[in-house]
Homo-oligomer: A and B are copies of this chain.
Amino acid sequence: MSAGTGLTRPRVVVLGGGFAGVYTALALEKALGGRDDFEVILVNRENYFVFQPLLPEVISGSIGITDMVVPLRRLLRRAEVHVRDVEAVDLEARVVSTSPGFRPQPHRVGYDHLVLGLGNVTDFRGLPGLPEHAMPFKNLGDALRLRNHVIRALEEASIEKHDRELRRQLLTFVVAGGGFSGVEVAAELNDFVRAVATSYRGINPEEVRVVLVHSQERILPEMAEPLALFAQRLLQKRGVELRLCQRLQSATGTEAILAGGDRITTRTLVSTVPASPHPLLEGLPLSKGPGGRLVTTPELRVEGTANVWAVGDCALVPTPDGNPAPPTAQHATRQAAVCAHNIVAAIRGGDCRIFDHRGLGTMGSLGHRSAVAEIFGLRVSGFIAWWLWRTVYLMKMPGWGRRLKVASSWTLDLLLPPDLVELRLRGSQGLSREHYEPGQEVFREGDLGDCLYIVLSGEAEVLKGAPGREQVLTQLGAGEVFGEMALLEHTTRNATVRCRTAMDVLRLPKHEFATLAAHLPDLRASFEKVMNGRRGAGSK
């Protein structure tokens, strides 16, 4: 039965530790019973399962940072868990390769049945500046990064007394995408920022702006119109600006730029759209439908395969009503049960089941004791919906331990003001990319020289002199390096660099540059050559 892998028992490998993957592994464990006639391996990048519906609460800290995640090993008692990135799948050889661990050695896992539960990713490709400057909101790391970034912006705004433009940037928070995820993030972010702003003596709460950008006429397209309109009114009442029928087109480090040309000055841009399936799937020769999702049979086999299964957000699963199943936890967990049943049937022999779950309803939190819900055709909004939302999700959390923790955090949250600890795990900053729009300044004369730039595309001018009476010293184009002079000579910038066109740059921090330049003589020599060439012109 496990001819392909030379294993003694057939092996099922599940890729992905979200609702789809974890619930498939759980159902497989249950089916194992006392027979132990196959083995289960789950591969996931993190060692925990994220209870996604509660993720936005991390922003405000109304639940503990790790309360809404469950360690995979506490959930899965019989499956083997590999905490690794999946790097490749060889469908011919039936082998999954994962990223190396402490030693740089390839790690291969053979399988008889493969379950793809890899979910989707926020995909900013093709949107200039978004990969560099927009923050996705998908996993615990994203939520923590956003929370930290927001607190940092408030800290900086509170001591920035002179530069009014910088204050505006720091105190404006933009969320793009008005589906469930974007709305929940905007609501939590708005509640949090407005609540903690009062703790900063240097910030006037009226300076705070939270903007939600959505491409359609109303938010929450997943819900009935009256509920969406309720949500809109509520968000507006609490101070969220809605920008409907507008689409985020590009971004820089200081602006969100909409398709119509409108610009919102900000240092905090979160985007929950657009989504595309896990990049690993792109290269696999499997049948794909709209949006790159894997086309499955009603039994959840990927079309045209015998031993590859797909569940959850990366799968396009047909339902009895003809539409594909929506990408929700509710559907993923039901698919998981069917998929596990059918894999067991394929191993032991037996009848297959088909996926025929009809949705029970949808719910979305609007922050501070309000929500919208549609359950069994009933529409509820406000406090009752919020109470329902909390109760349903608390009961759905796997394991009593977490339920207890979440319940206790929620109770304390009623009594205590929101937490505003900025939890930084410092590390080297490393290389990063930045996107600039025409007219933007990369740095100004007199700034500290904290990094070096390499132009990837676009053009810029090097200027000197007081604003309004600037003199153009030289032009910069693709492949050129700038900013090295202040670094090599430890001075402040002696010129301003302003973009003529949209420009993408690679940014190398001072510390890394200094270390590299000290130990790679060729590199240092080539920078000195560039610098000396420019010195005649007085530019940097």
Show the binding face of A for B, using Cβ within 8 Å.
46-48, 61, 64-66, 69, 71, 73-74, 78, 80-83, 100-107, 140-141, 144-145, 151-153, 155-156, 158-160, 163, 166, 169-170, 199-202, 267, 401, 404-405, 408, 412, 415-417, 419-432, 443, 446-450, 454, 456, 479, 481, 506, 508, 512, 515-516, 519-523, 526
Contacts and interface: CB of A to CB of B under 8 A. Distances in A.
When A and B form their complex, which 3 residue pairs have the shortest distance between CB atoms, in order from nearest? Answer: A428-B430, A430-B430, A522-B526
A80 B202 contact: yes
17 contacts: A47-B151, A47-B420, A65-B66, A69-B421, A71-B421, A80-B201, A81-B158, A100-B450, A102-B153, A104-B447, A105-B446, A140-B423, A401-B415, A405-B412, A431-B512, A522-B523, A522-B526
Given A64-B65, A145-B425, 6 more contacts: A102-B170, A105-B448, A107-B159, A401-B415, A428-B428, A481-B520
Contacts of A82: 159
A141 B426 contact: yes
Contacts of A73: 199-200, 420
A204 to B, nearest CB: 15
A398 B140 CA distance: 29
B431 A102 contact: no
A66 to B, nearest CB: 5
B144 A425 contact: yes
Contact of A48 (B80, B421, B449, B506): B421
Contacts of A163: 103
Nearest to A454: B519
Nearest to A486: B104
A76 to B, nearest CB: 10
Nearest to A49: B421
Total identical chains: 2
A243 to B, nearest CB: 24
A94 to B, nearest CB: 19
A526 B65 CA distance: 47
A265 B82 CA distance: 24
Nearest to A83: B155
A424 B46 contact: yes
A411 to B, nearest CB: 8
Contacts of A66: 61, 64-65, 419, 421, 423
A255 B412 CA distance: 45
A425 B479 contact: no
Contacts of A415: 401, 404
Contacts of A426: 141
B479 A506 contact: no
A449 to B, nearest CB: 7
A203 to B, nearest CB: 11
A47 B155 contact: yes
Nearest to A426: B141
A52 to B, nearest CB: 15
Contacts of A526: 520, 522-523
A402 to B, nearest CB: 9
A528 B299 CA distance: 53
Contact of A80 (B103, B159, B516): B159
A417 B103 contact: no
A511 to B, nearest CB: 8
Nearest to A48: B421
B425 A425 contact: yes
A413 to B, nearest CB: 10
A428 B421 contact: no
